[in-house]
Amino acid sequence: MEAWLLSWSGTQPGKPKDKILYILDASKSPEEVAEIVQILHNLFICNLAELADYSQPGAHIPYQSQLQETPPGHTSIYCGHNPHIDARLVRNLEVTEDSDGIETIAWEERRASGEWGKESLKRHNSKALLDQID
């Protein structure tokens, strides 16, 4: 499956522990994804006063989504400083879950060299954890 994969990056100790933020349909344009990335970044990073300020026409938003071509011909999007959100098109995305509720997400993404490389992450199934709450 092809998709836009949105994830947190950075070295700040307080960054979100769950690296995968969202998965979007690959048919969305980079501009549509950039808008979603901007909204998600503000939602997780900003306080209510900042969100109210940024909602006004002409407001200065310090960290705006940026489109970049890395490698050339392949658009990725980032927003923020540390932590920041990365969004990129990936292929062969697959999610599996074991009997303990541990999900593995695997995908291929383009490297700076232009070659495709395999990546994967494991995490607890959020829904399974929520089902345990009374």
pLDDT digits (tens, 9 = 90+) for 79-108: 998 888 999 999 999 999 999 889 999 999
Q: Helices (DSSP H) in the chain: which residue ranges?
A: 30-45, 48-54, 126-131
User: How many Cβ atoms from other residues are within 10 Å of residue 124's Cβ?
Assistant: 13
- The number of distinct structural domains making up the chain is 1
Question: What residue numbers bound the domain in which 90 lies?
Answer: 3-131
Residue with more model confidence, 51 or 123: 51
In this predicted structure, the answer to whether residue 128 has a pLDDT above a threshold of 70 is no
Mean pLDDT across 20-37 = 95
Q: Looking at residue 134, what is its pLDDT?
A: 46
* Full-model pTM: 0.83
